[in-house]
A and B are shown apart, each in its own frame.
Chain A
Amino acid sequence: MKPSSHWKNIVNFAMFGLTGLCALVSVGTLVFILGYLVFNGGKSLSMSFFTNLPAPVGEVGGGMANALLGSGKVLLLATLIGIPIGFLGGVYLSEYSGKTIAFVIRYVTDLLNGVPSIVIGIVVYTLVVHPMGHFSTFAGGVALGIMMIPISVRSTEEYLLAVPPSLREAAFALGAPKWKAIITVVIPAAMRGIISGTMLDLARVAGETAPLLFTALGNQFWSPGWNQPSATLPVMIFTYAIAPYEDWHRQAWAAGFVLLMLVLLINVTARMALSKGSYVPRG
């Protein structure tokens, strides 16, 4: 028994070391990226980044105010398009659909979620940009909106399913028709979860670059309205990072830092809202 027990100890220690090391590497990668970005981005960040338009090469004091606003507009439009569709689809899945239809819808939304974002960009290019004849903020919003739908459907569905059936029964027993029970009891009970799910969804698409390359394109100037090409943070990072100018690289670092902070902020807010507890019954 002795040698075998000794051997077991070695295997045990090796497994412990290997798994621990891999866990450390995965966390370390994130910490390294964060640190590198904060160091380089923070150093390049200044007030003018938030207030000025991009400056010509060689000129100091340029910013990305147009890209910040552009990203804001594209994300707003994406939310207005993606969330109502995803939310109502999720309500249908959780409250109305039969088992077979639910299975099909879930499967298809999961597939849509797996479609590479650049493909969605091309689709929107064909369906929106090409007929309109030019790139636009609107097309960018449509592309990101489509990307938001599958996650919105599934997170809405999940949070609604977490609402105990006994609450629905209580509403029915008081003479509430199904649609009223859903609006007055089920959705409010799941609201906190649905909102944080939406925010996480938003944080996810905020960094998407590929779909915007074909749709919002980019712009060195302000983009009034919804009908013209628009600068966005991710595309700006892409353009500036591959340019051969040192000061553009610094701007790209700053933009990356700002984008990261934005996504982190949305993430943390969403998780804090969620941790305050959605539906927690007592007794």
Chain B
Amino acid sequence: MSQEARLPVSKIESPPTVSEKKPLSENPKKLCAEKLNFFYGKFQALHDISIDMRENHITALIGPSGCGKSTFLRTLNRMHETVRGTRLEGQILLDGESIFQQNVNALRLKVGMVFQRSNPFPKSIFENVAYGLRVNGYDGGKQRLQEEVERSLRKAAIWDEVKDKLHESAFGLSGGQQQRICIARALAVRPEVLLLDEPCSALDPIATAKIEELLFGLKPECTIVIVTHNMQQAARVSDFTGFFLLGKLIEFDSTNLIFQNPSKSETEDYVTGRFG
């Protein structure tokens, strides 16, 4: 999709793309979905979704349950392929290259993912974080591995809480701590993009605040896409927000505009809490 194709957004029927009239970001496009359609069997879960996700920004995807936002997120690292009977049309580009032309495991190293429920492996905290490196044939020696694990745990703002029990089971931690271990685990392979699928939905406000804070810290090195149920969270953490409804992307714009002056009535109804 060329730059010229992006005409100013009119209120009614324009495709939901980034408006060039008010450039949202100077940063290059890291991840682009183009005309994405997605099917579970015969059911079409996504309709013609096009979004550009800019480098070093946080993009939030909001919408009511079942609107397709998680489905969309899972196509970005091709996790949808683990589910039988799904079909995808359209294109997704990472740095301008189709993700479907790449080795899927190499792609997932570049596009990391954190899930809704914390899902640490039944291993020690250290082994959880080291897993991504080990499984991809890391052989930088024990010293380097330890440094990488510490770096990841620090980035995930959990180092101080676990540094004395690295070799204990990750199951001994609280839900919020486990989720930060999962973030550290994803960060250990130095992903370029981090996808988060409602990472705080099972957490209390304090644990949530910690995760939101660490996301800000990750912006310089990661492009982040976060699916969230929580509109306040989207408003707090993200630079851009996309609003999904019934498998369609209703509106995509800077977070400020989406929450303060949305151009579509559906968006306004949702963000003001009139439904959903």
Residue A32 lies at the interface, judged by CB distance under 8 Å to chain B: no
Chain A interface residue count, CB cutoff 8 Å, equals 24
**Given A166-B115, A170-B119, A189-B122 in contact, is the A177-B105 Cβ separation under 8 Å?**
yes
Instruction: Name the contact of B106 in the complex, choosing from A172, A175, A279, A283 (C-beta under 8 A).
Output: A175
Nearest-neighbour CB distance to chain A for B275, whole angstroms, equals: 30
Residues of B within 8 A of A188 (CB): 122-123
Q: Are B119 and A166 in contact (CB under 8 A)?
A: yes
Q: Which of B3-11, B18-26, B64-72, B128-136 lies at the interface?
A: B128-136
Residues of B within 8 A of A181 (CB): 135
Residue A281 lies at the interface, judged by CB distance under 8 Å to chain B: yes
Write out, one digit per residue, whether chain B residues 83-120 have a CB within 8 A of any chain A CB (1) or not (0): 00000000000000000000001101100110101111
Residues of A within 8 A of B117 (CB): 166
Interface centre among A166, A168, A170, A185 (most CB of B within 10 A): A170
Residue B178 lies at the interface, judged by CB distance under 8 Å to chain A: yes
Residues of B within 8 A of A279 (CB): 122
Residues of B within 8 A of A166 (CB): 115, 117, 119
Chain B interface residue count, CB cutoff 8 Å, equals 35
Complex-state Cα separation, A185 to B120, whole angstroms: 10
**Given A169-B79, A283-B173, A283-B175 in contact, is the A175-B122 Cβ separation under 8 Å?**
no
Residues of B within 8 A of A175 (CB): 105-106, 108-109, 132, 135-136, 189
Q: Are B131 and A171 in contact (CB under 8 A)?
A: yes
Complex-state Cα separation, A171 to B189, whole angstroms: 12
Residues of B within 8 A of A173 (CB): 77, 79, 108, 112-113, 115, 186
Residue B182 lies at the interface, judged by CB distance under 8 Å to chain A: yes
Q: Are B135 and A170 in contact (CB under 8 A)?
A: no
Q: Are A174 and B171 in contact (CB under 8 A)?
A: no
Residue A35 lies at the interface, judged by CB distance under 8 Å to chain B: no
Interface centre among A171, A177, A181, A282 (most CB of B within 10 A): A282
Complex-state Cα separation, A283 to B200, whole angstroms: 12
Nearest-neighbour CB distance to chain B for A282, whole angstroms, equals: 5
Complex-state Cα separation, A177 to B108, whole angstroms: 10
Question: Which residues of chain A (126-159) have a CB below 8 Å from chain B?
Answer: none
Nearest-neighbour CB distance to chain B for A200, whole angstroms, equals: 22
Complex-state Cα separation, A272 to B115, whole angstroms: 33
Nearest-neighbour CB distance to chain A for B203, whole angstroms, equals: 9
Q: Are A170 and B175 in contact (CB under 8 A)?
A: no
Residues of A within 8 A of B135 (CB): 171, 174-176, 180-181, 184
Nearest-neighbour CB distance to chain B for A98, whole angstroms, equals: 8
Q: Are B178 and A170 in contact (CB under 8 A)?
A: no
Task: Return the chain A residue nearest B78 by Cβ.
Answer: A172
Task: Return the chain A residue nearest B118 by Cβ.
Answer: A283
Complex-state Cα separation, A167 to B186, whole angstroms: 13
Complex-state Cα separation, A283 to B132, whole angstroms: 22
Residue A164 lies at the interface, judged by CB distance under 8 Å to chain B: yes
Complex-state Cα separation, A180 to B179, whole angstroms: 23
Residue B261 lies at the interface, judged by CB distance under 8 Å to chain A: no
Q: Are B105 and A176 in contact (CB under 8 A)?
A: yes
Residues of B within 8 A of A282 (CB): 171-173, 175, 178
Residue A280 lies at the interface, judged by CB distance under 8 Å to chain B: yes
Q: Are A185 and B119 in contact (CB under 8 A)?
A: no
Q: List 21 A-B contacts (CB under 8 A).
A: A166-B119, A167-B119, A168-B82, A169-B79, A169-B113, A170-B119, A170-B182, A171-B131, A171-B135, A173-B108, A174-B136, A174-B186, A175-B106, A176-B105, A176-B135, A177-B105, A184-B135, A185-B131, A188-B122, A281-B171, A282-B173
Q: Which residue numbers of A lie inside 8 Å of B, CB to CB?
A: 164, 166-177, 180-181, 184-185, 188-189, 279-283
Return the 10 tightest CB-CB contacts between A and B, nearest first. A283-B175, A174-B132, A173-B113, A166-B119, A175-B109, A175-B105, A176-B135, A175-B108, A170-B119, A283-B178
**Additional 7 contacts, C-beta under 8 A, given A174-B132, A175-B189, A180-B135:** A166-B117, A169-B82, A169-B115, A175-B108, A175-B136, A281-B119, A281-B171
